[in-house]
A = this chain, B = another copy of it.
Amino acid sequence: MSAPLRNDTFLRALRRQPTEYTPVWLMRQAGRYLTEYRETRGRAGSFMQLAQSPAMATEVTLQPLDRFPLDAAILFSDILTVPDAMGLGLRFAEGEGPQFERPVRDEAAIRALTVPDPGTSLRYVTDAVSEIARALDGRVPLIGFSGSPFTLACYMVEGSGSDDFRIFKRMLYARPDLAHLLLDVNARAVTSYLLAQIEAGAQAVMVFDTWGGMLTTPLYHAFSLDYMRQVVAGVRAGLARVAPGRDVPIIVFTKGGGGWLESIAACGADAVGLDWTVSLAAARRRVKDSVALQGNLDPMVLLTDPETVARETARVLADFGPGHGHVFNLGHGIVPATPPENVAALVETVHSASRRYHIGF
In the complex, A216→B313 CA distance in Å? 13
Once A259-B277, A259-B278 are accepted as A-B contacts, the answer to whether A303 and B170 lie under 8 Å apart by CB is yes
- On whether the beta carbons of A217 and B278 are closer than 8 Å, the reply is yes
Q: Which of A173, A278, A301 has the most CB of B within 10 A?
A: A173
Identify A300's interface contact among B173, B218, B220, B258, CB under 8 A: B173
Within 8 A of B (CB), among A173-207: 173-174
**What would 15 more interface pairs be, CB under 8 Å, given A164-B335, A166-B335, A213-B277?**
A166-B300, A173-B308, A174-B305, A174-B308, A214-B277, A215-B277, A216-B276, A216-B277, A216-B298, A217-B278, A218-B279, A220-B277, A256-B277, A258-B258, A259-B278
Identify A173's interface contact among B164, B173, B301, B337, CB under 8 A: B301
How many residues of A sit at the interface, in one of the four size bands? 20 to 34
- On whether the beta carbons of A169 and B300 are closer than 8 Å, the reply is yes
**In the complex, what residues of B have CB within 8 A of residue A166's CB?**
300, 303, 335, 337
| Chain multiplicity (copies) | 2
A312 within 8 A of B: yes
Chain B: CB-nearest residue to A165: B300
**In the complex, what residues of B have CB within 8 A of residue A174's CB?**
304-305, 308
Q: List 17 A-B contacts (CB under 8 A).
A: A164-B299, A164-B300, A166-B303, A166-B337, A170-B304, A173-B300, A173-B304, A173-B308, A173-B312, A174-B304, A174-B305, A213-B277, A214-B277, A216-B298, A217-B282, A258-B259, A259-B277
Within 8 A of B (CB), among A263-319: 276-279, 282, 298-301, 303-305, 308, 312, 315
Chain B: CB-nearest residue to A217: B279
Within 8 A of B (CB), among A215-239: 215-218, 220
**In the complex, what residues of B have CB within 8 A of residue A305's CB?**
174
A171 to chain B, nearest CB (A): 9
Give 5 nearest A-B pairs by CB, closest first: A169-B300, A174-B304, A217-B279, A174-B308, A173-B304
Q: Mark A136-179, 1 if CB is under 8 A from B, else 0.
A: 00000000000000000000000000001010011001100000
In the complex, A170→B308 CA distance in Å? 10
**In the complex, what residues of B have CB within 8 A of residue A218's CB?**
279, 315
A299 to chain B, nearest CB (A): 8
In the complex, A164→B303 CA distance in Å? 12
A340 to chain B, nearest CB (A): 17
In the complex, A220→B217 CA distance in Å? 23
**In the complex, what residues of B have CB within 8 A of residue A308's CB?**
173-174
In the complex, A213→B255 CA distance in Å? 13
Chain B: CB-nearest residue to A296: B216
**In the complex, what residues of B have CB within 8 A of residue A279's CB?**
216-218
A333 to chain B, nearest CB (A): 11
Q: Which of A174, A218, A276 has the most CB of B within 10 A?
A: A174
A106 to chain B, nearest CB (A): 16
Chain B: CB-nearest residue to A282: B217
In the complex, A216→B214 CA distance in Å? 18
Within 8 A of B (CB), among A96-153: none
A27 to chain B, nearest CB (A): 14
In the complex, A214→B303 CA distance in Å? 16
